[in-house]
């Protein structure tokens, strides 16, 4: 199956998701509408409708043989067992039809899956990007009352039954506020398409490496951990049960530490053979494997020690840069990465000293156009710090959580 960019589009009832979906289609996106498919698989003459009648009786049909949704809801949502029975009929068919539509999309397609319950279903890790459309609750209530004829009480009850704003924000890579003028959100969608989705698709399909970046560091961003957790969800989904663990490491994982706006993530696997077996799955999930020999400098103090080999993948998203280090559980490097992070978190004077080194060297190498000289010069301080971190680990009994 060709790998095309998969975008999950979601939002609460009344948020105006269709406005965003329509604009994306105008730009060339392939739209798969989960609600539309849920209706399609139970149309008259389908196996889905026949199975629903068998499960819930002929009273769930209208006079002309179509599904009476109100009658079905009264029966299917009467208890948890009935609801699960209905979902067992509809969801597999919707899933199969969704997979069919994705298979039929062009290899360079940008597929937008409009799925209302994406957050509630925990489906975010299965998309390369999640776009959430939102609007203030009062705006949504007014739309539902005026455009759909709902009572205010019904509108508020439906909003309350869905995922909260906080839950949606946790899942959102892109947050579109559709509570204002229509032209504003359309302009944001236009920019999203041109600046993120189109280059993301090309990077994913062509396995293009990220262009060189400046070593300039930014003040610590409180949103980095949440961003990292979203990306780690995709890494874990791609690696499955072959992952020993997946963690946010590096400077963006240390509160208060200035850093380049690049998330460093670590996937720990049993062996590097497993890392090689996972290369295609990680690449398809949005983390193309980098060519060449990747390794960590040995820190075991033994003269002439062999380098610590690893595998390296980079994020294909042009807006959210990611370095994914894949290290073997049988080697020492994965543990050292976690130790260094936790040691900095627990020792403010060391954090302050490291921050000063980073700022000084970033300024000195600001015009380099690459991070390589900055990283090489910084490594001397880091190597010495590893020794102090190991001493701290021995004193405190630290071990990876």
Q: Which residues does the annotation place in the binding site for ATP?
A: 14-19
Residue 264's Cβ-side half-sphere holds a number of Cα atoms within 13 Å equal to 14
Binding residue positions: 14-19
Task: List Cβ neighbours of 379 (8 Å cut-off, separation of 6 or more).
Answer: 297
In three-state form (DSSP H/G/I as H, E/B as E, the rest C), the secondary structure along the chain is CCCCEEEEEEECCCCCHHHHHHHHHHHCCEEEEHHHHHHHCCCCCCHHHHHHHHHHCHHHECCCCCECHHHHHHHHCCCHHHHHHHHHHHHHHHHHHHHHHHHHCCCCCEEEEECCCCCCCCCHHHCCEEEEEECCHHHHHHHHHHHHCCCHHHHHHHHHHCCCHHHHHHHCCEEEECCCCHHHHHHHHHHHHHHHHHHHHHHHHHCCCCCCCCCCCECCCCCHHHHHHHHHHHHHHHHHHHCCEEEEECHHHCCCCCECCCEEEEEEECCHHHHHHCHHHHHHCCCCECCCCEEECCCCCCCCCCCEEEEEEECCCCCCCEEEEEEECCCCHHHHHHHHHHHHHHCHHHHHHHHHHHHHHHHHCCCCCCCHHHHHHHHHHHHHHHHHHHHHHHHHCCCCC
């Amino acid at each position: 199956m060709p790998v095309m960019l998969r975008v999950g589009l979601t939002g609460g009832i009344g948020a105006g998701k269709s406005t965003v979906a329509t604009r994306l289609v105008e730009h060339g996106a392939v739209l798969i509408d989960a609600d539309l498919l849920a209706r399609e698989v139970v149309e008259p003459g389908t196996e889905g409708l026949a199975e629903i009648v068998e499960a819930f009786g002929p009273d769930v049909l209208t006079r002309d043989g179509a599904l009476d949704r109100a009658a079905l809801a009264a029966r299917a949502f009467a208890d948890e067992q009935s609801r699960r029975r209905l979902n067992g009929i509809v969801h597999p068919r919707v899933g199969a039809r969704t997979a069919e539509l994705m298979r039929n999309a062009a290899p360079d397609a940008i597929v937008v899956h409009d799925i209302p319950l994406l957050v509630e279903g925990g489906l975010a890790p299965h998309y390369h990007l999640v776009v959430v459309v939102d609007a203030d609750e009062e705006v949504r209530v007014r739309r539902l009352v005026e455009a759909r004829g709902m009572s205010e009480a019904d509108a508020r009850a439906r909003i309350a039954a869905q995922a909260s704003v906080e839950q949606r924000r946790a899942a959102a890579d892109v947050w579109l506020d559709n509570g204002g003028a229509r032209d504003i959100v359309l302009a944001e969608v236009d920019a999203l398409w041109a600046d993120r989705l189109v280059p993301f698709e090309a990077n994913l399909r062509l396995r293009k490496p990220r262009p060189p970046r400046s070593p300039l560091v930014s003040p610590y961003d409180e949103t980095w951990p949440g961003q990292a957790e979203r990306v780690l969800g995709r890494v874990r989904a791609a690696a499955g049960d072959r992952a020993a663990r997946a963690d946010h490491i590096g400077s963006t994982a240390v509160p208060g530490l200035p850093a380049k706006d690049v998330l460093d993530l670590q996937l720990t696997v049993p062996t590097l053979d497993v890392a090689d077996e996972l290369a295609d799955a990680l690449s398809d999930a949005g983390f193309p494997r980098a060519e060449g020999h990747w390794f960590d400098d040995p820190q075991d103090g033994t003269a002439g020690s062999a380098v610590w080999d690893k595998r390296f993948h980079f994020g294909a998203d042009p807006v959210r840069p990611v370095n994914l280090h894949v290290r073997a559980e049988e080697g020492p490097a994965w543990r050292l990465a976690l130790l260094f992070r936790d040691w900095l978190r627990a020792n403010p004077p060391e954090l302050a000293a490291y921050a000063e080194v980073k700022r000084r060297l970033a300024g000195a190498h600001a015009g380099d156009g690459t991070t390589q000289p900055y990283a090489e010069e910084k490594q001397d301080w880091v190597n010495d710090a590893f020794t102090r971190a190991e001493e701290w680990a021995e004193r405190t009994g630290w071990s990876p959580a």
